[in-house]
Chain A
């Protein structure tokens, strides 16, 4: 049925699968042409596609739809904004007996990411904080170092949030599956790529696959393969305990800055992928240095970064530090094989 969505050649984005009154999946999504002014649509179980009419001005982007159905009908929430003269984005909801008879949208609050599900309202700051407002109590979820682009949930497991964003210091996007009840969290990959803005219903997973050069050139695609990596990227906080922006990046390495009782104080989040990247860069630069290129300072800088981002693993940290100091002292080239072995052991223990 997804093929029918793409007969128009338009971009599709922000999928959300949810069961209708008979348990059949309804797909909510956004569609846009090159103008990138996204509008809301739904594909019903019979394959027909329906524009979800909001009555908002044509220049307003509508995105991130979610919905549930109960005895009173459909309840849809979405994000909209970007129009003139006031581009403020807000979380809206609209309700009605059927998806083609929804009420005029009601703005709930200013935000660029979030949803409503029954008595739960979730909204996010663009920098690293998600606010959960719930009858059972309010709390925040901190995702240090992340821009947050979408927060949705699994319609078949509403306590499971699907948080899509981007690591601020990198180009990489991600989707984090976060269980509100247990705190369990996984990064999800579809077809070997981060499952950007994915939706899951039962064994079906769709995601917004990039299809063009531009970042938002996307098409809703069914995942052929799915992988999950357990991480600890997000931290549950009391409401107001932390402020947006003021936190340190942790990236997608699934690790937080923490110290064993006798270990040196960890002053920076550790990240094995980051360590590998810096060691690799130092390796290349030092090899070129032997060929006469003046990369000494940059290579030492990369070694120091690797050292800094491995504080959580004393064996690896000390090995990199010793290698850097030896190189700076007498020009001894690092033993790359030995460092790679130490890193592999660290990775094995970590996972």
Chain B
């Protein structure tokens, strides 16, 4: 049961976070104002191909309210789980308005094979000091600053 000063535990068993990455706690009313509930998820996906489908329009994912404040975003190719680490094909932070800071207008590929692109939202977990990402492709990464 929620009590003042107790840590917020999310449905998945992880601790809730504040935008700065600190653990969230309940107040005297059993609420967590500004609490950042963050579970990794795929915000969008697209298959690129130099010939058939070279560019992915990312503008629908710009603007506020796209992801939990304080979370992280990255563009990654899941057909090869590539490239192997930060900065992938683009990465950044989510600001206090839920906006993906630095997300470009589009991603274009000059690769003739299909590129299975995902725009992923990741969550920082202070228990292991890492960012957790959805899926099985590079699911953990070191925390980066923006």
The answer to whether A and B interact is: yes
Q: How far is the CA of A303 from the CA of B80 in the complex (A)?
A: 39
B110 part of interface (Cβ distance < 8 Å): yes
Cβ-defined contact, B113 with A214, below 8 A: no
Q: How far is the CA of A215 from the CA of B109 in the complex (A)?
A: 15
Q: Which residues of A contact B112 (CB under 8 A)?
A: 147, 149, 166, 173, 215-216
Which chain A residues (123-139) contact chain B, with CB distance < 8 Å? 125-127
Which chain B residues (3-49) contact chain A, with CB distance < 8 Å? none
Cβ-defined contact, A125 with B79, below 8 A: no
B82 part of interface (Cβ distance < 8 Å): yes
Which chain B residues (42-59) contact chain A, with CB distance < 8 Å? 50-52
CB distance from B74 to the nearest CB of A (A): 16
Which chain A residue shows the least CB distance to B116? Answer: A87
Q: Which residues of B contact A110 (CB under 8 A)?
A: 80-81
A341 part of interface (Cβ distance < 8 Å): no
Q: How far is the CA of A93 from the CA of B145 in the complex (A)?
A: 42
Which chain B residues (61-88) contact chain A, with CB distance < 8 Å? 78-83
Interface size on A, residues (CB 8 A): 22
Assess A88 versus B113: contact at CB under 8 Å? Given A110-B80, A111-B80, A125-B82: no
- Residue in B111, B113, B137 with the greatest tally of chain A CB atoms within 10 Å: B113
Q: How far is the CA of A249 from the CA of B82 in the complex (A)?
A: 20
Q: How far is the CA of A238 from the CA of B112 in the complex (A)?
A: 28
Cβ-defined contact, A82 with B79, below 8 A: yes
Assess A215 versus B136: contact at CB under 8 Å? Given A87-B78, A88-B78, A126-B113: no
Please pick, from B78, B82, B116, the residue contacting A126 in the complex, using a CB distance under 8 A. B82
CB distance from B90 to the nearest CB of A (A): 13
CB distance from A17 to the nearest CB of B (A): 23
Which chain B residue shows the least CB distance to A167? Answer: B110
Q: Which residues of A contact B80 (CB under 8 A)?
A: 81, 88-89, 110-112, 126
A86 part of interface (Cβ distance < 8 Å): yes
A221 part of interface (Cβ distance < 8 Å): no
Cβ-defined contact, B82 with A86, below 8 A: no
Please pick, from B52, B78, B81, B111, the residue contacting A147 in the complex, using a CB distance under 8 A. B111
Cβ-defined contact, A214 with B79, below 8 A: no
Interface size class of chain B, counting residues whose CB lies under 8 Å from the partner chain = 10 to 19
Cβ-defined contact, B81 with A126, below 8 A: no
Which chain B residues (89-116) contact chain A, with CB distance < 8 Å? 110-114, 116
Per-residue CB contact flags for chain A residues 286-321 toward chain B (1 = under 8 Å, else 0) read 000000000000000000000000000000000000
CB distance from A197 to the nearest CB of B (A): 11
A244 part of interface (Cβ distance < 8 Å): yes
A245 part of interface (Cβ distance < 8 Å): yes
Cβ-defined contact, B116 with A214, below 8 A: no
Q: How far is the CA of A245 from the CA of B82 in the complex (A)?
A: 11
Q: Which residues of A contact B114 (CB under 8 A)?
A: 82, 87
Q: Which residues of B contact A147 (CB under 8 A)?
A: 110-112
Q: How far is the CA of A127 from the CA of B114 in the complex (A)?
A: 14
Q: Which residues of A contact B78 (CB under 8 A)?
A: 86-88
Cβ-defined contact, B79 with A87, below 8 A: yes
Q: Which residues of B contact A245 (CB under 8 A)?
A: 83
Q: Which residues of B contact A166 (CB under 8 A)?
A: 112
CB distance from B31 to the nearest CB of A (A): 36
A193 part of interface (Cβ distance < 8 Å): no
Q: Which residues of A contact B82 (CB under 8 A)?
A: 125-126
A346 part of interface (Cβ distance < 8 Å): no
Which chain B residue shows the least CB distance to A84? Answer: B116
CB distance from A36 to the nearest CB of B (A): 8
A contact set with B: CB distance below 8 Å: 81-82, 86-89, 110-112, 125-127, 147, 149, 166, 168, 173, 214-216, 244-245
Known: A82-B114, A89-B80, A127-B83. 7 other contacts (CB 8 A): A81-B79, A82-B79, A88-B79, A147-B111, A149-B112, A166-B112, A215-B50
13 A-B residue pairs with Cβ-Cβ distance under 8 Å, sorted by A, are: A82-B114, A88-B78, A88-B137, A110-B81, A126-B80, A127-B83, A147-B112, A149-B113, A173-B112, A214-B51, A215-B50, A216-B51, A244-B83
B contact set with A: CB distance below 8 Å: 50-52, 78-83, 110-114, 116, 135-137
Q: State the 9 A-B residue pairs at the shortest beta-carbon distance, nearest first.
A: A87-B116, A215-B51, A87-B79, A112-B80, A215-B112, A147-B111, A89-B79, A87-B78, A89-B80
